[in-house]
Amino acid sequence: MKNDKLHQSYNELIKKNNNSAILIFENGDIFFGFGFGATGQKIGEVCFNTSMTGYQEIITDPSYNKQLINFTFPHLGNVGTNSNDNEANLSYASGIITREPPSQSSNWRSEYDFNKWLELKDVIGIYGIDTRQLTKYIKDNNAPMGLICYDKTRKFDFPSLQDKLSKHPKLKGSDLVPNVSTKSIFDWQDRTLNVISRRDKIKKNNNNIHVVALDFGIKQNILRCLKDIEVKVTIVPFNYDFERIKALRPDGIFLSNGPGDPLATYNSIKNNFDKILTMNIPIFGICIGHQLLALACGAKTKKMTQGHRGGNHPVFNLMNGNVEITSQNHGFNVIEASLPKDLLVTHKSLFDDTIEGLEHVSKPIFSVQYHPEASPGPHDSKYLFEKFYKYMI
Residues taking part in catalysis: 287, 371, 373
Amino acid (one-letter) located at 208:
N
CA distance 257 to 222: 9
Q: How far apart are CA 63 and CA 179, in angstroms?
A: 10
Contact assessment for residue 237 and residue 202, using Cβ atoms and an 8 Å cutoff: no
Greatest alpha-carbon span in the chain = 75
CB 66 within 8 A of CB 130: no
Is the CB of residue 92 less than 8 Å from the CB of residue 118?
no
CA dihedral 160, 164, 166, 171 (to 10 degrees): -160
Tell me the Ramachandran region of residue 268: left when phi exceeds 0, alpha when psi lies from -120 to 50, beta otherwise. Answer: alpha
CA angle 300, 303, 304 (to 5 degrees): 120
Residue 233's beta-bridge partner residues?
188, 211
Q: For residues 11 and 252, what is the distance between their CA atoms, to the nearest angstrom?
A: 58
Count CB-CB contacts under 10 A for residue 203.
9
CB atoms closer than 10 angstroms to residue 169: 11
- Dihedral over Cα of 183, 184, 185, 190: its sign: negative
Q: Label residues 318-351 b or e (16+ Cβ within 10 Å = b).
A: eeeeeebbbbbbbbbbbeeeebeeebeebbbbee
Count, residues in the chain: 393
How far apart (Å, rounded) are the C-alpha atoms in residues 183 and 22? 35
Alpha-carbon separation of residue 92 from 10, 60, 225, 229 (angstroms): 30, 7, 22, 29
Give the type of residue at 384: L
Say how many C-beta atoms besides its own lie within 10 A of residue 139's C-beta.
12
